[in-house]
Amino acid sequence: MPRLTVPISDDEIRALHAGDTVYLNGVIVTGRDAAHKFMVENFIRQAPPAEERALYEALKRLLDGGVIYHCGPVVKRNPDGSWTFVAAGPTTSIREEIYEPDVIRHFNLKGVIGKGGMGSSTLKACQEQPAVYFHAIGGAASLIAQSVKEVITVYKLEEFGVPEAMWVIRVEDFPVVVTMDSHGQSIHSKVQDESEARLKRLLAA
């Protein structure tokens, strides 16, 4: 199975196709509803406020060619003040559909990790960018946490709380499956279309 190291190049993304299993390595950032809303409202729809400029510059660097993970982790504070991920399961991604295309384009994202897939707007952004959607295994939060080797820092912890904060983490051999690629293929759309066609046949029988 291919291993990709963040930051990921356009050529590496274009070489991926729906159905490919990949191991991710490097530094990625978690972000759910609060983080996406915050980024769009403060960094994309307007110039970054002065008090958020440092965070904007950090995210521009981290997400350029990078990966954002829809995850609300369970974390543990260690005696030395560092953090450890106890559970790191994916969050349902469709909640971010209204934000994700803008975030992908603005920050030059190459990958989005979550579960359940995303919609046509994100798929279009993946084709244009290019970028891909990586499906992580739902129900394997503790197993996935073993791939998180280091919590580098965390942003907006006090304001957003643990699940919604933006955790900057270093991962090793994080297992994911490409389910939406840069060529317009979406396993999620295919499954939905096939399911609807089968339902129609059953109802007509």
Supply the residues annotated as catalytic.
36
DSSP string covering 89-146: PBPBGGGGTTTHHHHHHHHT--EEEEBS---HHHHHHHHHTT-EEEEPPTT-HHHHHT
**Partners of 150 in the β-ladder:** 170
Token readout for 142 is 């503790």
Q: Do the Cβ atoms of 16 and 22 come closer than 8 Å? A: yes
- Neighbouring C-beta atoms of residue 76, cutoff 10 Å: 12
CA distance 76 to 108: 31
Q: How many residues does the chain have?
A: 205
